[in-house]
Amino acid sequence: MTTPNANLQNSAPLPAERPTPLPRLLLSALLAAVLFMLVCGLAYPLLTTVVAGAAFPNQAGGSLVTRNGQVVGSAVLGQNFTAPRYLHGRPSMTSKTDGSGPEPYNAENSGASNWGPTNAKLQGAVQGRIAAFRQENGLGADVPVPIDAVTASASGLDPDVTLATALLQVNRIAQARGMQPAGVEKVIRAHLKGRDLGLLGEPRVNVLAVNLSLDGQ
């Protein structure tokens, strides 16, 4: 009868494991890179584009707004309305694409000022916007100005303003258009959107939609 130790002593040694050749490793890595590039960089984007175009054609196309067959803007991108007869949007800190100067609502160069809350430039800009907003809308010094009327969004392309900001512009718009303030307010409220999920954000209106409706009066 043989003992376990004897069996171990008489057994042949296991062959040493040969390392994988470097060219084979490189080939495997290359094939994996190509596979993931095709799946993540081509197949997945194509699939999501096709599905989005079929399920949400308007949103996938940029939520474009047309008037008399002509594209006049997008429902999700703000525009720089400055004439007294129009509802004005939020301030925008976007600049020209080449960086040579400011260009509000430049959709090719979205961005914010990157000024922190303690930055003197931000504080000065906000105070200046408050004074300008009160002056152009004929508001007294005791009238609170909503924060969205004097601060830019992170993108600089926000298409909406709060209902409070819109209503403070009613008298100026009515005077410029020769309308009754009640008529302007009615148009604004017709485009009112509530808080998201009933909780998030503030009641707001789309600036472009309101201005197109005002032009149609």
* Average confidence (pLDDT) over 76-83: 94
Taking CA atoms, 109 is separated from 63, 92, 208, in Å, by: 19, 11, 20
The answer on pLDDT for 11 being more than 60 is: yes
- Give the model's pLDDT for residue 56: 85
Residue 4 has pLDDT above 90, yes or no: no
Distances (CA, A) of 181 to 21, 102, 162, 172, 212: 82, 33, 18, 9, 17
Q: What is the pLDDT of residue 57?
A: 85
Cα separation, 65 vs 171, in Å, equals 27
- Mean pLDDT, residues 60-83 taken together: 90
Model pLDDT, residue 10: 61
Start-to-end CA span in the chain (Å): 109
Within the chain, residue ranges assigned H as helices are 4-10, 22-38, 44-55, 57-60, 120-136, 163-167, 170-177, 181-190, 207-215
pLDDT at 34: 95
pTM over 0.75: yes
Residue 1 has pLDDT above 90, yes or no: no
Tens of pLDDT, residue by residue over 16-69, are 677 778 888 899 999 999 999 999 999 999 999 988 888 888 888 888 888 888
State how beta strands 64-67 and 70-74 pair: antiparallel
Q: Which pLDDT band, with edges at 50, 70 and 90, does 197 fall under? A: confident
| Contact of 139 with 107, CB cutoff 8 Å | no
Q: What is the pLDDT of residue 14?
A: 65
Q: What pairs with residue 196 in β-bridges?
A: 200
Is residue 171 within 8 A of residue 108, CB to CB? The reply is no
Contact between 69 and 161 (Cβ < 8 Å): no
pLDDT reading at 8 higher than 70: no
pLDDT, tens digit (0-9, with 9 covering 90-100), for 137-180: 999 999 999 999 999 999 999 999 999 999 999 999 999 999 99
Residue 155, burial from CB neighbour count under 10 angstroms (0-12, 13-18, 19+) = middle
State the average pLDDT for the chain. 90
Averaged pLDDT for residues 101-121? 90
Sequence-distant (6+) residues with CB within 8 A of 20 are none
Q: Looking at residues 106-124, what average pLDDT do you find? A: 91
pLDDT for the residue numbered 149: 96
